[in-house]
């Protein structure tokens, strides 16, 4: 990634989950604002599990939301429509469907960390968001995760072996626990420059204002 000689890239830690639609929206709003402002951002994806105790087969998404948040079918449909429109404006495709399921993401976070060691953590995060929200794939399935690695030019078999071994499990747990201990209870949550916490998907204009206030701009964003 290129950075400005005059101003260093602005570090942004994004605490999120790959089955969180507002995380996809929030990141793409930030990315849009950064491109418009010519901001240089150095993104670090941090793990957060919305459903750490969920069974491997997952749950029906609509039933899950009704049980967890009390959302009615009408409310769920309204939010899905809102998310789809927001995604379209930002270049991200949500394809919600009846019977869509939500999954545990512990393995997915391990894969992102594995990919980060190979310089492709950011790309892996984007690939998994797309796999789940656009392609409707089960992001807890090891074959799906291995295929995501292969799609980025990484070794799918090596990724599968790393997940089978659980070599990144403790690290992911520790990192996720760190953010929970910092008071993070919902995502997305973004920490700018290690000091400024912003929660929720704030919108392009608000992110643009944040970047302007922080004053870290340059020529390119990763």
pLDDT tens per residue across span 57-84? 899 999 999 999 998 999 999 999 999 9
CA distances, 54 to each of 2, 13, 57, 59, 216 (Å): 40, 26, 8, 8, 40
Among residues of the chain, what percentage have pLDDT more than 70?
Answer: 94
Among residues of the chain, what percentage have pLDDT more than 90?
Answer: 88
Neighbours of 211 (CB within 10 A): 23
Residues in the chain: 222
Average pLDDT over every residue of 80-94? 98
Q: Could you tell me if residue 27 is inside a domain? A: yes
pLDDT tens per residue across span 8-64? 789 999 999 999 999 999 999 999 999 998 889 999 999 999 999 998 889 999 999
Residue 218's contacts (CB-CB under 8 Å, 6 or more residues apart) are 3, 4, 6, 7, 9, 38, 39, 40
Q: Could you tell me if residue 64 is inside a domain? A: no
Q: Higher model confidence: residue 216 or residue 68?
A: 68
CATH code at position 35 = 3.40.30.10
What six digits make up the tokens of 87? 């995604």
42 is in which domain, residue-wise? 1-48+184-222
Tell me what pLDDT residue 6 has.
Answer: 52
pLDDT tens per residue across span 124-171? 999 999 999 999 999 999 999 999 999 999 999 999 999 999 999 999
Residue 54: which of 130, 107, 126 has the closest Cα?
A: 107
What six digits make up the tokens of 167? 């070599």
Tell me what pLDDT residue 217 has.
Answer: 41
Q: Could you tell me if residue 94 is inside a domain? A: no
Q: Could you tell me if residue 193 is inside a domain? A: yes
What six digits make up the tokens of 21? 């639609």
Helix axes 169-181, 106-116, angle to 10 degrees: 100
Q: Provide the domain count of the chain.
A: 1
Q: Confirm if 13 and 176 have CB atoms less than 8 A apart.
A: no
pTM of the model: 0.91
* pLDDT for residue 216 is more than 50: no
Tell me what pLDDT residue 221 has.
Answer: 38
- Residues pairing with 192 in the sheet: 12, 196
Tell me what pLDDT residue 8 has.
Answer: 73
Q: Could you tell me if residue 104 is inside a domain? A: no
Tell me what pLDDT residue 218 has.
Answer: 40
Q: Confirm if 173 and 2 have CB atoms less than 8 A apart.
A: no
Q: Could you tell me if residue 209 is inside a domain? A: yes
pLDDT-based confidence at 2, cuts 50/70/90?
very low
Identify each DSSP E strand in the chain by its residue range. 10-16, 41-47, 59-60, 101-102, 189-192, 196-199
Q: Could you tell me if residue 61 is inside a domain? A: no
């Amino acid at each position: 990634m290129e950075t400005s000689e005059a101003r260093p890239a602005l570090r942004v830690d994004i605490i999120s989950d790959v089955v969180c639609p507002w995380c996809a929206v929030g990141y793409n709003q930030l990315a849009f604002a950064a491109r418009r402002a010519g901001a240089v951002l150095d993104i670090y994806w941090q793990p957060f599990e919305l459903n750490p105790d969920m069974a491997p087969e997952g749950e029906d998404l609509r039933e899950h939301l009704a049980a967890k948040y009390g959302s009615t079918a009408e409310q769920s449909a309204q939010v899905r429509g809102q998310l789809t429109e927001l995604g379209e404006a930002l270049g991200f495709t949500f394809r919600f469907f009846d019977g869509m399921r939500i999954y545990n993401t512990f393995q997915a976070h391990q894969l992102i960390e594995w990919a980060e060691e190979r310089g492709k953590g950011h790309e892996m995060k984007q690939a998994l968001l797309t796999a789940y929200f656009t392609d409707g794939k089960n992001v807890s399935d090891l074959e799906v995760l291995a295929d995501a690695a292969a799609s980025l030019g990484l070794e799918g078999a090596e990724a599968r072996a790393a997940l089978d071994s659980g070599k990144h499990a403790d690290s992911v747990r520790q990192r996720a626990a760190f953010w929970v201990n910092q008071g993070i209870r919902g995502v997305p949550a973004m920490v700018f420059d290690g000091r400024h916490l912003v929660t929720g998907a704030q919108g392009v204009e608000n992110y643009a204002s944040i970047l302007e206030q922080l004053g870290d701009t340059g020529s390119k964003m990763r």
